[in-house]
Structure 1
């Protein structure tokens, strides 16, 4: 059950709050519609429930507020606006990534695609999907964690009638399976047709909280309430005059001496009563309330709902479809996989699989990296540019072998491999903030140590592979063009290789941390370029001069301090590592990484992430 108590948005610039003191319930097994015109506070209500906006009030999801739920994606499925995914990512890649984030098996993505009718579109990119498919993909994203509660903001906006019917069929199946559904809409007929309970808002305040049957009877059209000791005679007179004037008026005899008249007003009914000499004890206009619309108020899945007469002579229509309402599906031409949509079992039962583990950031990060074409594109450009530069430097013969193999001319601040590793590292966090697929509308990207560790591990692995590929491909190309004699292997190649790996991995980490701190990929790239452009020249200036001391004896002193004995080979490796780190570029990169890591931890502690 969802319980929202006293939701009030924070006022802005001396203006009244958009939402004021909203209290509502959405029960499991039912679909609840939050109805109101544009600007009535519907979206603000959802964002307050999800703790995305400042304000007062609290929302309980099965007795717990969102910030007390360990894995909110398993409790609440959210769709606010467009699908939260990179336009270049495929529908299948998007769902596999979200399943990894919630700990669900990757096979769940295939089940979600089948359930929402997107079979055949799994390899289409999000940016090229039609509007209907985009909305169904958003629903599949919300269902990726098998949540109990669905919060959807205008899920049927822009859909055709058949697509909207299919979407509401999926919501109904989720509710039949025991879930809670709360969605917003501006259309009273849509709410009356598809919801079990309707909460109407106007001007940020609660206008009505009714069962859909009562809403259709009292608020879908204006109602005039009449009390008379001769209610039956008055009802006959009103109906007779309406038929004579060819007006769509419906008269319902209530218990006792009451009448409910739809399609008329107090003045007309009063005149009719006066002409026929019928006394009236009560005559009141009720039910317009800002939620008035012509049309049918019938709904599906409920018997006995009062309907609206559209034309004289037509029989009153009662909604009485069976709860499963099978056979409703979007246009098959637009969604090739709709023929295989499962429409018998409730959605939660169809897709339910036990989530075997908590959030899996490492698997999520791998799916995020591999689901974008930019990863392969950056790697291909790095290899191509490195080969071209290696050929040019090798032909000139003036550059040293390390610079030739790295494709690093003297005029460039960094070699292409380091720049590419830094760019891919910057994308790892920058894309999270630009396209927040991980949070799906539940707040900022979570600043968790597990997620940071996963991003650093994946970025280091990619940088390592990229660095080895660049050296290996450049070596083969140089051998092919200039022969083996032009490639003498230096004696200190292990130290050179370690320096090369440290450079590319350090640049990748600088990109990750820079984008994570400043929430933009451009900031991550700037952090990478700041090392050779700003910090290395400064350190070279500080480290030159007669006062600089040598650290050559550190391995021996460390062995004596620790009281351990190790072979001379360990001393050589330690000395080599110190020489690598002791270079100006190594010191600058270490300082930058340390500063960014501290800044990341500081900002993460100050602003507690919500997910």
Structure 2
């Protein structure tokens, strides 16, 4: 059971709250519709339930708030707005990445693709999917963890009648197995056709909490729609004859040539128009919306239903709509759903610290940007290395790195920084994990996984660049062996630190400023802005020296480390005091502090 108690959004200054003290419940085994006009607070209410929106109140999912649930994907499946995901990612790759985040085996993705009818489109890119296919993928994503509760925001928006029938059939099958379903809609007729219970909100407040039969009786009523070029004349004639016959008929004009007649039928309206020589272009029965049920304030679940609207028709069978069963009746499950086996149950989520690491690896390798950036860095570095070796005036380390003096950073470091910036930039442009509690930067495990993966990617790219540049030099200028410098450990440490530092600078800056462009700017700012300042600071006179620091540290330590460690420690210190190394250390420190401050501020708001 889902219980929403006192949901209230934090209003903007000078504006009323989008959701104001909203309290209702959705029962297991039922499909509950949260009905309201655009701007009534339906989506905000869902976000408050998922703790994605600042505000007050609490939502219990089978007796527990979301932040007390160990594995939210196992309890709550969510579809908010468009299906999140990078448009270049494949359907199967998207689901496998979400499987890693939810802690379920990757084979679950194939099961869900078959369940929603996307198994033939598993290699198609997300950016090429139609609206109907996106909704199927969204349902597959929501059902990955085999959740008990489904929260769907406008799931049928933009779908054809056939797609709507399929979607609500799948939702009905989930509820029939004991699950709880809550979806938002702005169409009263759709709510009456597809839901068992309807919760109506207006301006963020609860105005009705009804079973679907009561809702259809009090909110919907039959009417005759008439389209004629003489609408005003026909309205006057119908009203005059209704008063003469003492019949309760109401005529409402809309759009200049359209009339809605409540209390009459097509035969009476057609005979009246014929007797008076009025041309009719359209004459049909339909189910009309009588407007939201008035209420004086929010009511707790179980309170009596609000009084019927003043213009509501007496209880009577409501005619069926053209694209679904009669409002107020439980729709049958489509044959395609009824004949197919039940949705496969997901195994219990895996409790492993490698879950965010698996997710990040699938995120990195699931889009073409990663190999394109790496290939561009390799090609640019090889070309620059060949050109630098031709002049013979560039030192060997700079030649192997493909780093001419005109460039602020070598191509490998720029590529590593770009991949780091994409790591968080893609999360904000295509927020795959937004349905989980909170935004991505507040997930410490995921941040650590991103740091590890970007560092590994940067080191691999740096190593491959050196190997490719070396082979390019041998291919162009002959097979003579290139001598290994004596200070190769220090050079390797410098090269690795530069690559990893650029990758982390791009990663953290994109996480702080929520944009990949900010990450790239932070990477370029290190050699362009920060390094000159550090050089000026280091150029001043100094009466102190770090010589002998390892020995002093050994005296303070409880245990004695080998003397070989002294050489490595001094090498690391030499790397740090280099202008680029010091600039990277300073930039990373500032970005980490900014990242922690912004994360703590967002946490405090919740």
**TM-score normalized by the length of structure 2:** 0.80
Q: Is the 8 A contact 1:176 1:346 kept in 2?
A: no
User: Structure 1 residues 207, 491: CA separation in 2 closer, same or farther (over 3 Å shift)?
Assistant: same
User: Structure 1 residues 102, 609: CA separation in 2 closer, same or farther (over 3 Å shift)?
Assistant: farther
User: Structure 1 residues 79, 523: CA separation in 2 closer, same or farther (over 3 Å shift)?
Assistant: same
Counterpart of 1:60 in structure 2 is 60
Distance in 1, Cα, partners of 2:130 & 2:54: 34
Deviating more after overlay: 361-370 vs 18-27: 18-27
In structure 2, the residue corresponding to 1:608 is in which secondary structure? helix
Counterpart of 1:326 in structure 2 is 335
Deviating more after overlay: 551-560 vs 153-162: 551-560
Instruction: Give yes or no for the alignment of 1:344 onto 2:343.
Output: no
Counterpart of 2:498 in structure 1 is 503
In structure 1, the residue corresponding to 2:593 is in which secondary structure? helix
Per-residue deviation, residues 543-593 of structure 1 (Å, max 9, x unmatched): 224425332322333334436555553333233222222212112211221
Q: Is the 8 A contact 1:7 1:23 kept in 2?
A: yes
Instruction: Give yes or no for the alignment of 1:582 onto 2:577.
Output: yes
Find the partner of 2:434 among 427, 439, 446: 439
In structure 1, the residue corresponding to 2:193 is in which secondary structure? helix
Q: Is the 8 A contact 1:4 1:22 kept in 2?
A: yes
Per-residue deviation, residues 45-77 of structure 1 (Å, max 9, x unmatched): 222222333444332221222233343333222
Instruction: Give yes or no for the alignment of 1:357 onto 2:357.
Output: no
Counterpart of 2:417 in structure 1 is 422
Counterpart of 2:459 in structure 1 is 464
Distance in 2, Cα, partners of 1:414 & 1:548: 32
Give 1:468 shift: 0.4
Q: Is the 8 A contact 2:166 2:334 kept in 1?
A: no
Give 1:542 shift: 1.8
Deviating more after overlay: 453-462 vs 101-110: 101-110
Correspondence list, 1:129-528, <5 A: 129-221=129-221, 264=263, 289-290=290-291, 307-309=317-319, 324-327=333-336, 343-347=339-343, 350-357=344-351, 360-440=355-435, 442-485=437-480, 487-528=482-523
Give 1:322 shift: 8.5
Distance in 1, Cα, partners of 2:212 & 2:558: 80
Distance in 2, Cα, partners of 1:85 & 1:99: 14
Q: Is the 8 A contact 1:7 1:57 kept in 2?
A: yes
Give 1:320 shift: 7.9
Counterpart of 1:234 in structure 2 is none
Counterpart of 1:598 in structure 2 is 593
Q: Is the 8 A contact 2:30 2:175 kept in 1?
A: yes
Q: Is the 8 A contact 1:78 1:150 kept in 2?
A: yes
Q: Is the 8 A contact 2:35 2:200 kept in 1?
A: yes
Distance in 2, Cα, partners of 1:185 & 1:164: 12
In structure 2, the residue corresponding to 1:221 is in which secondary structure? strand
User: Structure 1 residues 171, 496: CA separation in 2 closer, same or farther (over 3 Å shift)?
Assistant: same
Q: Is the 8 A contact 1:213 1:306 kept in 2?
A: no
User: Structure 1 residues 222, 433: CA separation in 2 closer, same or farther (over 3 Å shift)?
Assistant: same
Give 1:321 shift: 7.9
Find the partner of 1:538 among 533, 541, 564: 533
Give 1:40 shift: 2.6
Q: Is the 8 A contact 1:307 1:318 kept in 2?
A: no
Number of matched residues? 527
Distance in 2, Cα, partners of 1:566 & 1:52: 50
User: Structure 1 residues 470, 36: CA separation in 2 closer, same or farther (over 3 Å shift)?
Assistant: same
Give 1:3 shift: 1.0
Q: Is the 8 A contact 1:446 1:609 kept in 2?
A: no
Per-residue deviation, residues 398-432 of structure 1 (Å, max 9, x unmatched): 10110111000001111000011011111111211
In structure 2, the residue corresponding to 1:607 is in which secondary structure? helix
Give 1:167 shift: 0.7
Distance in 2, Cα, partners of 1:17 & 1:545: 58
Per-residue deviation, residues 441-462 of structure 1 (Å, max 9, x unmatched): 7542242322121111000100
Instruction: Give yes or no for the alignment of 1:48 onto 2:57.
Output: no
Distance in 1, Cα, partners of 2:263 & 2:383: 83
Distance in 1, Cα, partners of 2:147 & 2:320: 40
In structure 2, the residue corresponding to 1:152 is in which secondary structure? strand
Distance in 2, Cα, partners of 1:411 & 1:377: 24
Distance in 2, Cα, partners of 1:11 & 1:451: 31
Distance in 1, Cα, partners of 2:540 & 2:184: 70
Give 1:222 shift: 6.3
Give 1:181 shift: 0.5
Distance in 2, Cα, partners of 1:26 & 1:41: 17
Give 1:21 shift: 3.2
Per-residue deviation, residues 297-344 of structure 1 (Å, max 9, x unmatched): xxxxxxxx9742479xxxx9899888654326xxxxxxxxxxxxx953
Counterpart of 1:334 in structure 2 is none
Stretches of structure 2 lacking an aligned partner (at least 5 in a row):
224-240, 250-260, 265-287, 294-314
In structure 2, the residue corresponding to 1:327 is in which secondary structure? helix
User: Structure 1 residues 52, 566: CA separation in 2 closer, same or farther (over 3 Å shift)?
Assistant: closer
Instruction: Give yes or no for the alignment of 1:9 onto 2:9.
Output: yes
Distance in 1, Cα, partners of 2:598 & 2:89: 29
Deviating more after overlay: 372-381 vs 36-45: 36-45
User: Structure 1 residues 263, 289: CA separation in 2 closer, same or farther (over 3 Å shift)?
Assistant: closer
RMSD: 3.1
Correspondence list, 1:37-116, <5 A: 37-116=37-116
User: Structure 1 residues 345, 212: CA separation in 2 closer, same or farther (over 3 Å shift)?
Assistant: farther
User: Structure 1 residues 141, 583: CA separation in 2 closer, same or farther (over 3 Å shift)?
Assistant: same
Deviating more after overlay: 206-215 vs 27-36: 206-215
User: Structure 1 residues 410, 24: CA separation in 2 closer, same or farther (over 3 Å shift)?
Assistant: same
User: Structure 1 residues 543, 203: CA separation in 2 closer, same or farther (over 3 Å shift)?
Assistant: closer
Q: Is the 8 A contact 1:539 1:588 kept in 2?
A: yes
Give 1:131 shift: 0.8
In structure 1, the residue corresponding to 2:525 is in which secondary structure? helix
Distance in 2, Cα, partners of 1:411 & 1:50: 51
Give 1:382 shift: 0.3
Give 1:183 shift: 0.4
**TM-score normalized by the length of structure 1:** 0.79
User: Structure 1 residues 187, 150: CA separation in 2 closer, same or farther (over 3 Å shift)?
Assistant: same
Counterpart of 1:281 in structure 2 is none
Distance in 1, Cα, partners of 2:58 & 2:553: 57
